[in-house]
Structure 1
């Protein structure tokens, strides 16, 4: 392992290889198509190929071919091995010295307190998917969660198909509005316990980290706004997205938050994000 670690650190020392690694970490455990990686990072295909080959050679990411598409994901075993080396060897067996805040949160191994939790859902436009998530969770468990949503590039108004679906499902839409993520990053912003991205583009973007290290996961779903066709076809796409998110919210509200340690909770929300949502009720 000692031979591999310097190579991995050297590989991550290149800014754009590091950016690629960070993007895949934000999308973990997704396998992300090469075309999406290149677009998100503004790289030419041959340049991306050079970077992924270096990261694969270092053992930090893995490759899978699905049809004609190459997809990449973090090799979490190698990543943990590298971090463990830094914390337990370079920090001389005292990781609490190097990263005291992270160490106390991650290794405290204590469940969350029984209280109301602040939850933020993020997508690009904050006009459909994150608005769905906000409305569904608030109505399912508003007594347990204070729910917010925001967009990395918020639109000026909510998507009319999304509003129509919410009204049909009995949600109060009067107070809903499109918000930019900057509203939740100031000194007076709520401290979030959970932060979820619900679209791939938002997860691909490098957003500022949350200082209190909330439990986070990527619950990406296709964008119904991009569906073309008749109004009936578009409406169906929004209903399906609503159904998929409702299934995820139902699974999330069923988690025994006060009895799960942080690592178990991270695993549980990751698994919810990986659900296929087959048979979603619309």
Structure 2
């Protein structure tokens, strides 16, 4: 695979091809239809098709058919080989030059959950980690386009589940990009739209993953139908947070930890 690296770097040297690849890396493990990629990047379908072909020819993405739809997914194995090669060469295999590994020895780990409105899913995750983390984590949440306030059904469900809600509010990711904001160890997107957006480069090189959940706020119908959607989002995130807090952080290197948080998104996490 190392023979592909010059071709891969040349392919990623084009800013629009790089943007498409970065989007699919943020969305991993999702397989994303071309129409959604075009909408997120602002590229014409014909132009995007050329870029997707170049990325696939360089083994940077995979293509698969799901029903009548063609979808694209980041080729994580190939990306890992390329980045490991660059790490060994440019960083001389010295982690302290290029990356740091979160440590649980001296302080709680800072974890940020991001969705679009910060009115439901990311607030669920924040409350869950705060209560399930046993003091080992500091949980935060934010939105790329935050709502004015948390959705009332979010607060109702959290209260019904025994979570404190008095300090929960909808807020912008700009708060966490400010100079004196906490440095994050982990950043998780919990909705597709937020993952499609090019968020700030977080200080400290946090480990990140995409734990996408359908948006319960968009569900219409009876009160019971809406509550069922909120319950599904809460339950899905509770399972993922439970898997996350059970990870043996001190026994994993950075690459292994990244693989484990990616696996959580696919509900494949094992002890």
| 2:158 corresponding residue in structure 1 | 166
Residues in 2 aligned to 1:7 and 1:252: alpha-carbon distance in whole angstroms: 36
What displacement does 1:142 show? 4.6
**2:178 aligned partner:** 186
Q: Please list, as runs of the form range in 1=range in 2, the aligned pairs for 1:139-150 lying within 5 A after superposition.
A: 139-150=131-142
The match for 2:8 is 8
Deviations 1:62-116 (A, max 9, x none): 1000101111112233323433454556x4x8355xx96325x36xxx9643531
What SS does the corresponding residue of 1:195 show, helix, strand or coil? Answer: strand
The match for 1:269 is 261
Report the aligned-residue RMSD: 2.3
Give the aligned partner of residue 225 of structure 2.
233
SS of equivalent residue, structure 1 residue 154: coil
Structure 1 stretch displaced more, 18-27 or 260-269: 260-269
How many pairs were matched up?
269
Structure 2 counterparts to residues 19-30 of structure 1, below 5 A: 19-30=19-30
Q: 8 Å contact 2:143–2:173 — kept in the other structure?
A: yes
Instruction: State the partner residue of 2:197.
Output: 205
Per-residue deviation, residues 176-199 of structure 1 (Å, max 9, x unmatched): 110100101111100111111111
Kept in 1, the 8 Å contact 2:29–2:265? The answer is no
Contact 1:120 1:192 in 2 (8 A): yes
Pick from 170, 176, 179 the counterpart of residue 168 of structure 2. Answer: 176
2:79 maps to 1:79 = yes
The whole-number CA distance in structure 2 between the counterparts of 1:66 and 1:223 is: 22
Distance 1:126 1:142, change over 3 A: farther
Q: 1:260 and 2:252 equivalent?
A: yes
Whether 1:39 aligns to 2:35 is: no
Alpha-carbon distance, 1:267 to partner: 1.3
Q: TM-score, normalised by structure 2?
A: 0.90
Find out whether 1:251 has 2:243 as its counterpart: yes
Are 2:70 and 1:70 equivalent residues in the alignment? yes
Counterpart CA distance in 1 for 2:132 and 2:52 is 42
Per-residue deviation, residues 121-156 of structure 1 (Å, max 9, x unmatched):
111110000000011111122511111100011111
Query: Kindly tell me: are residues 254 and 156 of structure 1, through their superposed partners in 2, closer, same or farther at Cα, counting changes over 3 Å?
Result: same
Aligned equivalents of 2:84 and 2:246: distance in 1?
33
Residue 157 of structure 1: aligned partner:
149
Does the 8 A contact of 2:121 with 2:215 survive in 1? yes
Q: Do the aligned partners of 2:31 and 2:72 also contact (CA within 8 Å) in 1?
A: yes
| Alignment match, 1:129 | 121
Which range is displaced more, 216-225 or 255-264?
A: 255-264
Distance of 1:210 and 1:223 partners within structure 2 = 25
Deviation at residue 259 of structure 1 after TM alignment:
2.0
Contact 1:56 1:62 in 2 (8 A): yes
Q: Which residue of structure 2 aligns with residue 280 of structure 1?
A: none
What SS does the corresponding residue of 2:26 show, helix, strand or coil? helix
1:94 corresponds in structure 2 to 92
The match for 2:58 is 58
